[in-house]
Amino acid sequence: MSDFLQFEDVSKHYGAVKAVDHVSLSVKQGEFFSLLGPSGCGKTTLLRILAGFEQPDTGRVLLGGEDVTDLPPYERKVNTIFQSYALFPHLSVWDNIAFGLKVAKRPKKEIQSEVEAMLALIQMEDQAWKKPDQISGGQKQRVAIARALVNKPRVLLLDEPLAALDLKLRQRMLIELDLIHDEVGITFLYVTHDQGEAMSLSDRIAVMQAGKIEQLGTPAEIYEAPRSSFVAAFIGDTNFFDGVVAEPLEKHTVLDGFLSVAVDRDYSRLKIEDFPDLECFNDKQIRQGEHVFLSIRPEKFRISREKPEGRPHLNILEGGVEDVIYLGSQTKYWVRVGDYRISVIRQHSRYLLDEKPIRWNERVWLSWHADDGFMLEKYSEQDEALLQPPPEEVGETSEPGAGAS
Amino acid sequence: MKAGARTRLAEWLVTLPSFVWLGVLFLVPTVLVFAITFKPATPFGGIGEGWTLDTLRTLGNPNYPAILWRTIRLSMLATGGCILLATPMAYYMARAGAAWRRWLLLLVVLPFWTSSLVRIFAWKVLLHPEGMLKQALVWLGLAGPDAMLLYNENAVLLVMVYTELPFAILPIYAAAEKFDFRLIEAAKDLGASSFRAFRSVFLPGIRVGLLTAFLMVFIPSLGSYVIPDIVGGPTSEMVGNKIAQRTFVDRNLPHAAGLSAILAVAVLAPLLAIASLRRRESPRDALREEGV
């Protein structure tokens, strides 16, 4: 079960470009699995290798324990939903859906009933005889899904299927895709550059970058515990602080009435220029003296006018509010601390009844628990080109995290 | 309403030159050709007074059905051969890289730089019993020393295909170039073999190009007379040869006009058939506008 679909050490080069670089990956049966990454990260190539449109240079692809690496596309029990839908323009909706069954020479009666069942699933029974250019984008999308699903593929491949739709339709199709996945129980392999789509649909996500898998996990794992600065910045919004790892914390425990002091390897002190020493969760056992990025998500901060009481593992910073954006369900603050403009999101429950709302130019206190900050290796130059720097101006639209927060 | 009337007037004014052109240079001559069929011939190659059905009677020449059938058959075969050769070529050209594609296009139109008469005559040299092609085939053992490559139907067909091929490649290529080749991938993804994808997705996708190619090759082929005249023999005469013979040798214009009329009907029949097919499709187009 656990090794239903496997990529084993798969590589693919285009000239000097490594599109896919020794990727190993396994997908469970029935899983909604996403390949997420910026354009050019190799996610589509990986999908095309599974579909059979590309041959890997090395490695193999196993489907249900069977090696399918050398099979042509038409002999694989996988079907693809293309970004452009690729509906056959000369065929009606009905004939588009029936195409795979006709090619497989299934009996006429069976084709009839299967196609009708699919039309019912996508709720387009009354549009069956229209041609693709007579139906809307969302309907085309649904026909493409039906055309693939009617063949009962073992894996359904979706190549940025929502990219061509407008926002409202995208949100609706997102829900429909989720419902269809629940209904048919087929393994979905979903390729996207939109972290919002991947987050809301997937059981597991593989974040890809430069042909490699950067991190693999559930949406929550990836969002809450990013393993690299690339993942932290690509998935959701975050604040990066440039720091140097200092000594580990001491653990004070009372044992048989005696106070014992031990080195706590889980937490380290972190030195950041102009900041007081911070305490930080050190899950990756980063050694003392290493330069790291401390990543803290905007919603992990607590912002208050009064200085919070000190508690173990609580970090406290003082800063000035530079900008405030009221977003309805939450408010976004930009707080200046030293060289950093820190983005903070605060969910408010009783905005007007609460204490007087924080305004700009006020002195505030930011606090967060050591567990909510992650020390990550600094990202490479290549990553830097892919990621925008934290916005300098209020209202800048290039916020990679808008979809997930 | 007034604005609508003015627009209609403007449309008429714009289309008028084409109508005049078609009327004077196409419709009137065609009617004249049909009319001359019913005029008597004069011994000096002119057209006499009055009306007669004499020509119609002589058109019942027992040789003519065979010649007409041969004309249609050779034209169909040449058209089929051209489309059969042009389709894979156009597919390949559409998939080729931009630079290579330009060279291939140049190669396709290159023959037009030489007079077609010269090119047809060149075939006579090639196919001649002493010619290179014949000698090569004999040397390879593919043809007997007495085999005749020239002056028969096969030679006519071969040269017709050769001459008309660019007229088939160009429209099919124009259609193939616009074809979305991702559809081939989609078909294969749905279980279709390469051939099935080609047949069920590519061919329907370029059907307008195929139709144009059919007309562009079939119609000129029906009227061809230079090719059978040069590389054909007495057993491969086509209607065009007979028309030329009646005009230049027998000086019997009404008879030539009668043959032309028969040929014109042979050309118009497929055109009208296609037009009516198109008309049958048009209600769906009306529905399409509603759907959008």
CATH of residue B119: 1.10.3720.10
Residues of chain B with Cβ-Cβ distance to A151 below 8 Å are: 190-191
pLDDT tier for residue A398 given thresholds of 50, 70 and 90:
very low
Nearest-CA distance A73 → chain B (Å) = 6
Helix (H, G, I), strand (E, B) or coil at B60: coil
Mean pLDDT highest for which of A326-335, A395-404, B83-92? B83-92
ipTM summary value:
0.75
Tokens 């050309």 found at: B267
Residues 6 or more apart in contact with residue B282 via CB below 8 angstroms: none
Q: Do A72 and B192 touch (CB under 8 A)?
A: no
Give me the residues of A, 149-208, that contact B with CB < 8 A.
151
> Which pLDDT score is estimated for A392?
45
Residues of chain B with Cβ-Cβ distance to A49 below 8 Å are: none
> Which pLDDT score is estimated for A391?
42
Residues of chain A with Cβ-Cβ distance to B204 below 8 Å are: 88, 90-91
Angle of helix B153-178 relative to helix B116-127, nearest 10 degrees, comes to 130
> Which pLDDT score is estimated for A380?
58
Angle of helix A93-103 relative to helix A108-121, nearest 10 degrees, comes to 130
Q: How far apart are CA B265 and CA B101, in angstroms?
A: 39
Average pLDDT over residues A66-72: 90
Residues 6 or more apart in contact with residue B75 via CB below 8 angstroms: B160, B218, B221, B222, B224
Tell me if A118 sits within 8 A of A146, measured CB to CB.
yes
Residues B101 and B205 placed together within one structural domain of the fold? yes
pLDDT exceeds 70 at position B111: yes
pLDDT exceeds 50 at position B87: yes
pLDDT tier for residue B56 given thresholds of 50, 70 and 90:
confident
Task: Please state the separation of Cα B229 from the chain's center in Å.
Answer: 18
Nearest-CA distance A90 → chain B (Å) = 7
Tell me if A129 sits within 8 A of A92, measured CB to CB.
yes
Would an 8 Å CB–CB cutoff place A141 in contact with chain B? Answer: no
In a domain, B245, yes or no: yes
Residues B175 and B264 placed together within one structural domain of the fold? no
> Which pLDDT score is estimated for A404?
37
Note down the domain range covering B106: 85-237
pLDDT tier for residue B50 given thresholds of 50, 70 and 90:
confident
Taking CA atoms, what residue in A is nearest to B291?
A: A134
> Which pLDDT score is estimated for B164?
94
Residues of chain A with Cβ-Cβ distance to B203 below 8 Å are: none
pLDDT exceeds 60 at position A114: yes
> Which pLDDT score is estimated for A64?
86
Residues B89 and B228 placed together within one structural domain of the fold? yes
Average pLDDT over residues B202-231: 91
Tell me if A248 sits within 8 A of A76, measured CB to CB.
no
Helix (H, G, I), strand (E, B) or coil at B239: helix
Query: Number of structural domains, chain B?
Result: 2
- The token pair that represents B97 in the structure block: 């890289």
In a domain, B50, yes or no: yes
Taking CA atoms, what residue in A is nearest to B190?
A: A100
pLDDT exceeds 70 at position A38: yes
Best A48, A49, A74 residue to mutate vs chain B (most B CBs within 10 Å) = A74
Residues B227 and B173 placed together within one structural domain of the fold? yes
Would an 8 Å CB–CB cutoff place A129 in contact with chain B? Answer: no
Residues B252 and B176 placed together within one structural domain of the fold? no
Q: How far apart are CA B91 and CA B135, in angstroms?
A: 34
Nearest-CA distance A216 → chain B (Å) = 28
Residues B257 and B130 placed together within one structural domain of the fold? no
Q: Do A79 and B190 touch (CB under 8 A)?
A: yes
Residues B135 and B210 placed together within one structural domain of the fold? yes
Would an 8 Å CB–CB cutoff place A215 in contact with chain B? Answer: no
Tell me if B221 sits within 8 A of B79, measured CB to CB.
yes
Residues B247 and B147 placed together within one structural domain of the fold? no
Give me the residues of B, 270-289, that contact A with CB < 8 A.
287-288
Burial class (CB in 10 A: 0-12, 13-18, 19+), A354: exposed
Residues 6 or more apart in contact with residue A366 via CB below 8 angstroms: A301, A302, A303, A316, A317, A318, A319, A335, A337, A342, A344
Tell me how many helices (H) and strands (E) chain B has: 15, 0
Would an 8 Å CB–CB cutoff place A80 in contact with chain B? Answer: yes
> Which pLDDT score is estimated for A330?
84
Neighbours of B265 (CB within 10 A): 11
Q: Do B207 and A131 touch (CB under 8 A)?
A: no
Residues B150 and B261 placed together within one structural domain of the fold? no
Q: Each residue of B263-285: pLDDT tens digit?
A: 888 778 877 887 787 776 554 44
The average confidence (pLDDT) of chain B is 87
Average pLDDT over residues B37-50: 84
> Which pLDDT score is estimated for B291?
37
Q: Do A86 and B182 touch (CB under 8 A)?
A: yes
In a domain, B182, yes or no: yes
> Which pLDDT score is estimated for B285?
47
In a domain, B139, yes or no: yes
Residues B39 and B120 placed together within one structural domain of the fold? no
In a domain, B24, yes or no: no
pLDDT exceeds 50 at position B91: yes
Structural domains of chain A sorted by starting position, each given as residue range(s) with its CATH number in brackets = 5-224 (3.40.50.300), 229-386 (2.40.50.100)
Looking at the partner chain, which of B185, B205, B288 has a beta carbon nearest the beta carbon of A90? B205
Strand order from edge to edge, sheet including A373-377: A278-281, A258-271, A239-255, A291-296, A373-377
Q: How far apart are CA B159 and CA B154, in angstroms?
A: 9
Taking CA atoms, what residue in B is nearest to A104?
A: B191
> Which pLDDT score is estimated for B168?
95
In a domain, B72, yes or no: no
User: Which amino acid, residue B255?
Assistant: H
> Which pLDDT score is estimated for B52?
85
Q: Do B185 and A131 touch (CB under 8 A)?
A: no
> Which pLDDT score is estimated for A49?
92
In a domain, B145, yes or no: yes
Nearest-CA distance B205 → chain A (Å) = 7
User: What separation in angstroms does the CA of B114 have from each of B121, B158, B232?
Assistant: 12, 18, 21
> Which pLDDT score is estimated for A313?
82
Looking at the partner chain, which of A51, A133, A135 has a beta carbon nearest the beta carbon of B189? A51
Backbone torsion region of residue A226, taken as left when φ is above 0, otherwise alpha when ψ lies between -120 and 50, otherwise beta? beta
> Which pLDDT score is estimated for A61?
92
Q: What percent of chain A has pLDDT over 70?
A: 88
CB contacts < 8 A (A, B) = 68
Q: Each residue of A153-176: pLDDT tens digit?
A: 999 999 988 887 788 888 888 888
pLDDT exceeds 70 at position A386: no
Residues B121 and B209 placed together within one structural domain of the fold? yes
- Mind spelling out the 3-state secondary structure of chain A? CCCCEEEEEEEEEECCEEEEEEEEEEECCCCEEEEECCCCCCHHHHHHHHHCCCCCCEEEEEECCEECCCCCHHHCCEEEECCCCCCCCCCCHHHHHHHHHHHCCCCHHHHHHHHHHHHHHCCCHHHCCCCHHHCCHHHHHHHHHHHHHCCCCCEEEEECCCCCCCHHHHHHHHHHHHHHHHHHCCEEEEEECCHHHHHHHCCEEEEEECCEEEEEECHHHHHHCCCCHHHHHHCCCCEEEEEEEEEEEEEEEEECCEEEEEEEEEEEEEECCCCCCEEEECCCCCCCCCEEEEEECHHHCEEECCCCCCCCCEEEEEEEEEEEEECCCEEEEEEEECCEEEEEEEECCCCCCCCCCCCCCCEEEEEEEHHHEEEEECCCHHHHHHCCCCCCCCCCCCCCCCCCC
Tell me if A57 sits within 8 A of A12, measured CB to CB.
yes
Would an 8 Å CB–CB cutoff place B208 in contact with chain A? Answer: no
Q: How far apart are CA A33 and CA A4, in angstroms?
A: 12
In a domain, B161, yes or no: yes
Give the N- to C-terminal CA distance of chain A in Å, as an integer: 33
Q: When comparing pLDDT for B244 and A264, which is higher?
A: B244
> Which pLDDT score is estimated for B281?
59
Would an 8 Å CB–CB cutoff place A136 in contact with chain B? Answer: no
Would an 8 Å CB–CB cutoff place B200 in contact with chain A? Answer: yes
Residues of chain B with Cβ-Cβ distance to A84 below 8 Å are: 180, 182
The average confidence (pLDDT) of chain A is 83
- The token pair that represents B43 in the structure block: 């011994």
Residues B226 and B159 placed together within one structural domain of the fold? yes
> What are the φ and ψ backbone dihedral angles of B40, each rounded to 5 degrees?
-75, 150
pLDDT tier for residue A396 given thresholds of 50, 70 and 90:
very low
Nearest-CA distance A194 → chain B (Å) = 23
> Which pLDDT score is estimated for A399?
41
